[in-house]
Structure 1
């Protein structure tokens, strides 16, 4: 049996529909998103437009097929937070537990070390999304706190857990 070839690259507009499909799998599962119903590429046009060289959107492929994505989003629209990013990772359900999330987090670490130079990366994870909590903890993120009953999704209030990681240096 041949070993699968995994690679990570910047997302292109041609990936947007796949990115949204992967996100919508999480919507259907009901544990990982703020959405109650599926979204479209058009719904996220502004979101896609925010990504740039300092705040990239990547996809991870297995044998050339996109199986997941990772975004380093702007944390807060104020210059005081320029050295902080919010991270989001979504993996296609059929590709769960294959090390793709771990591979993406290692890639992000290397990108920050080599060129992005963020000082802090923050992840907001719903309390019921234990697999994501475990992934981030196993990859050097610490539990920083919680926001109880902060979001109302599908008619119920949900708690967000905050995980974060500080890096040795930020941009000068």
Structure 2
């Protein structure tokens, strides 16, 4: 007999912040998905947490009550001309990779953007060597919009950055 797993996506609460940072720091340690070269703390990221609101939400996906991943819709660029664009970031706990949590978060985000008309455009920046994330975004309707060669320098190496994007219908 198989056990039923309860998965839920909801807005992040301050009580989730440590789990969000732990998941992010897992990616820092692996060195595949972030710009950081050293782990961060909740205090380091407090202003980042403070930016989220109803228009730019931060969601978590829980599995049996435990945070397994998160998704952020952040402002794309601070100029008002870009207010209808957002940058998306998705991080999944290492031991939960390849279990459908990233797809669930991306599908949920897509539904939220469509139903609430949050944005016209959503952009993802994904490092070239992060093939699993590129595959996920492509399979969910994102297109490769650009390539930035040797754009960042992390842990002694230059990294390439791929830009993926999706346009949504206007009202």
TM-score, normalization: structure 2? 0.97
**How far apart, in 1, do the equivalents of 2:95 and 2:170 lie?**
37
Alignment deviations for residues 68-105 of structure 1 (CA, whole Å, 9 cap, x no partner)? 00000000001100110000000001100110010011
Q: Is 2:141 the partner of 1:140?
A: yes
Conserved in 2, the CA contact under 8 Å of 1:54 and 1:116?
A: no
List gaps (5 residues or longer) in structure 2: none
Give the corresponding residue for 1:40: 41
Count of aligned residue pairs for this structure pair: 170
Give the corresponding residue for 1:94. Answer: 95
Contact 1:123-1:164 within 8 A present in 2 as well? yes
* Alignment match, 2:53: 52
Give the equivalent residue in structure 1 for 2:72.
71
Where in structure 1 do 4 or more consecutive aligned residues deviate above 6 Å? none
Aligned to 2:126: 125
- Unaligned stretches of 5+ residues in structure 1: none
Q: How far apart are 1:116 and its partner, in Å?
A: 3.8
> What is the distance in 2 between the residues matched to 1:26 and 1:102?
18
Partner SS for 2:52: coil
| 1:131-170 mapped onto 2 (5 Å cutoff) | 131-169=132-170
- How far, CA to CA, are the matches of 2:117 and 2:17 in structure 1? 23
Check the 8 A contact 1:117/1:169 in 2, yes or no. no
Matched position secondary structure for 1:9:
strand
Contact 2:55 2:118 (C-alpha < 8 Å) held by counterparts? no
Tell me how far 1:113 sits from its aligned partner: 1.4
Whole-Å separation in 2 of the counterparts to 1:94 and 1:68: 10
CA distance in 2, matches of 1:93, 1:119: 31
1:102-149 deviation per Cα after TM superposition (whole angstroms, max 9, x unaligned) = 001110111111114310000000011111000000100000011111
